[in-house]
Amino acid sequence: MANHRIGRVSQEIQREVNDILKKRVKDPRVADVNITDVRVTGDLQQATVFYSILSDKASDREKTQLGLDKASGLVRSELGQRLSLYKTPEIKFERDESVEYGNHIDELLRNLNKD
């Protein structure tokens, strides 16, 4: 039962954070962020929000992370209004490395096929 609830809360947070970033956060640094996953602790106290961006430049990654860190307070208070939870979890943004890893594998495969 608890796992089902955590999964449901994770999905809700993912949907809402995507919406909040698109409609409420006016920071251009987070304009192209795509939320890929949310992991919530068992006690629902913390949520790690994984994201990806299209750019693979380190400077863009850094700017995006700074923008998200700055927006996390707003995101959390918006979540508090939207979700029916006793306590809104702390929000931490983390870049999703798996997307990049997948792109790297795709690139390696394409290069193999060229030879």
pLDDT for position 115: 65
User: What share of the chain has pLDDT > 70, as a percent?
Assistant: 97
Provide CB contacts within 8 A for 87, sequence distance 6+.
Answer: 44, 45
Record the pTM: 0.83
Q: Total structural domains in the chain?
A: 1
Q: How far apart are CA 38 and CA 44, in angstroms?
A: 12
- Domain range enclosing 58: 2-113
pLDDT for position 90: 95
CATH number of the structural domain spanning residue 58? 3.30.300.20
Give the model confidence (pLDDT) of 16-50 as tens digits.
Answer: 999 999 999 999 999 889 999 999 999 999 999 99
